[in-house]
Amino acid sequence: MLFMKLEETVSALISPDEALFEALRREFHAVSLPRNELVFSLGNVARHIFYIEKGLARMFYYNETGKDITYEFFPENNFMAPSESFLEQKPSQYSIELLEDSELRLVSLDGLNRLLEEFPVVEKIKSHILAHFLYQANRRIVALQFQNAQQRYETLEQVKGNILQRAPLGHIASYLGITQETLSRIRGRK
Partner DNA sequence: ATACGATTTTGATCTATGTCAAAAATCGGG
Partner DNA sequence: CCCGATTTTTGACATAGATCAAAATCGTAT
> Which residues would be at the binding site for DNA (CB under 7 A)?
148-150, 168-170, 177-185, 187-188
Comparison of 41 and 127: residue with beta carbon closer to a second copy: 127
For 174-177, the CB contacts below 8 A with 24+ separation are 174/60, 174/67, 174/68, 174/69, 174/70, 175/69, 175/70, 175/71, 175/72, 175/73, 176/149, 176/152, 177/144, 177/149, 177/152
CB of 59 to DNA, least distance (A): 17
Contact (Cβ atoms closer than 8 angstroms) between residue 108 and residue 50 = no
127 binds a second copy (CB under 8 A): yes
CB of 165 to DNA, least distance (A): 10
CB of 137 to DNA, least distance (A): 20
Mode of pairing for the β-strands spanning 68-75 and 102-108: unpaired
Tell me which of 48, 140, 167, 171 binds a second copy, using CB under 8 A.
140
114 binds a second copy (CB under 8 A): no
CB of 136 to a second copy, least distance (A): 9
Find how far residue 18's CA is from the centre of its chain: 26
Q: Which residues pair with 105 in a beta bridge?
A: 30, 51
Q: Site residues (CB under 8 A) for a second copy?
A: 61, 63, 67, 69, 71, 83-84, 87, 120, 123-124, 126-127, 130-131, 133-135, 137-138, 140-142, 144-146, 174, 177
